[in-house]
Structure formats: C-alpha cells, structure tokens
Structure 1
Amino acid sequence: MLTDIISTHLKVIFCGINPGLKSSNDGHHFSGKSNRFWKVLHLSGFTPYEIEAVNDTSILDFGYGLTTAVARATSRADELSKEEFEGALEGFTNKMTEFQPQYIVFLGKAAYKAFSKKKEIQWGQQPEDFCRAKVWVLPNTSGLNRGFSLDHLVSYYKALYQTLHES
C-alpha cells in the first residue's frame, strides 16, 4: 500500500496516475528502478540532490507532496478503468480541498483527462484551476513512458519550476 505524502498549503502536490506494483510493495513513491521521477525532480531544480525513494517523505522539506489519482496498484496505468477514475474523483477532490496546494501537477494526461472530462489536454499549465489550485500536466516519468527522453522530461519539469519561482 502506498500512502500520500502530504500536508496543508504545499507549493505543489505531484499526482501520479496510480502506484506501480513495486512502489506499492515497497511503500515508497516512484521506487521502480526505471522510474525517473526523483532524477527529473533534481535535474529540473526542485531538489538540491536526488532523493532516494526510501526517503520519499523528505520531499515535504521542499514544500512538495505526493499522491495518486487512483489508489489501486497495477503494473501499467492503462490497466485502470474509466470507472476507477470516476470512482476516485470525489475522494481526490476532497483531499485537494482539505490540503489546499498552490499547484496540482498531474503526471501524465490520463488522470486529468478523466477528472476534467476534457478530451484534449496540452502539456503544461492548464487554463482552469482545480479545487482553487493551479493545474499543470507533465509527462509521466515511468520507465514505460519511452516517448520522453530524460532531457525532454527535465525541460518540461524545469518550465514548471521556473513558473513557481517567478511568482
């Protein structure tokens, strides 16, 4: 089981689609060997060093949190049904309303498409807020997402980092 790493009024809550099997078994976010989340977070400026998955709670020290859109662990996010996203929406909305982050960053388009009911979503900042938080959608760092090189991922995440530090 993977628990949220979250507190009130964080700068960013990063929202994965759902836990991978390894992360769920380990109890640590993004612990799969091929997942590039911690490396990308560091290389794009969010953390001064690369956090190890076993130390995932230290992300709170930087004003960031972690959650997932759907709690059920799978080996691939495409194993989730439309109904699972629909069933998760109310709980997710309640959580974001309670914790009030400045930004919600969806990692991959699937969850935000399901939650917003939009058919087309662009990468980056979204035109509308969600639970009074600004929304960004960034490419998923899963090792299964080979459509994005490490450099491409870092450039997308760096754009968010720069936006956060302009305000």
Structure 2
Amino acid sequence: LASWVRQYPIISIEDGMAEDDWSGWETLTRLVGEDCQLVGDDLFVTNTEIFQRGIDMGITNSILIKLNQIGTLSETLDAIAMAENAGFSAVISHRSGETEDTTIADLAVASTATQIKTGSLCRSDRVAKYNQLLRIEDALGAEARYAGAGAFSNIRNWG
C-alpha cells in the first residue's frame, strides 16, 4: 500500500489492515499516515473504547462512523468528538441494507464531519442522502461551505 500511495494520487484507504493487526496498522500509519487518510472501520467499529486505544497508539488518522453500529446517537456523537479532538477525520457512513432515511446526511452536516460515505448514485437510498445534502446546502444559502481538499487537515502532506 505504501508504494501505491507514493506512486498514485491515493487520498484515502479504508481498512488498510486486518481489524486485529494493530502492529500492521502502526506500520502503515508510520509509512503513509502523513500522505493519506487511513480510515479505521472494522478496526474501531464506532466503539469509543477501541477508538481511544487507536488514538493512544497513534494509528490511523480517521474513523468510519456508522450511526447504528455503536448503539446510541450520544455514543456516535462522542466518537465524532473524539476524532475531532484527536485531529482525526470522521467519515459518516451508510450501512448495507440502507433505506431512504436521510439521517446520516443531517448528522454529517450537523456534526461537521469530514466526509459522508453513502455510495454511488445507482440506488434510491443513496440518491435520497445526496438530495438531502443539496436541500441542506440550499437552506444554508451563503452560509454553506465546501471545504474541498481543506477538509483533509489530518493529512499533513495534502490539501
């Protein structure tokens, strides 16, 4: 992976190592953590105790947040706040078997998460989330902000 990041314009890798390979994650973070967003999904499972271990060990620089994975909205918001306080990005993500509910779009904007991951425009459940983001942008008017590459402030050598 490290050679690919150096050779190609890869900005983000999700689950770059196995969920139980903490030493592999340490190595990957050391090699490319300043050049690429390293998103822990299966590694952290939106669990703040596990995520704190990753923060303490200095592994990854991003967490995937799945609203219904940890249990409560409060725990989800805690995980997002932990990411922000640690200088990590938070990527709000859909789950397989999604519906047209747009809560994750609202959560992504309200929490000022770095990104939302909701898939391509090939299914109505995904389009619903993008349409909600457009409605939010319209409602915010001139206050709406698109961060672009600046959203990746957790990656020193990007943006």
- TM category, shorter: 0.3 to 0.5
For normalisation by structure 2, the TM-score amounts to 0.37
TM-score where L is the length of structure 1: 0.36
Give the structure, 1 or 2, with the largest relative contact order (CA under 8 Å, sep 6 or more): 1
Which one has a bigger Cα radius of gyration?
Answer: 2
Which of the two has greater helix per residue? 2
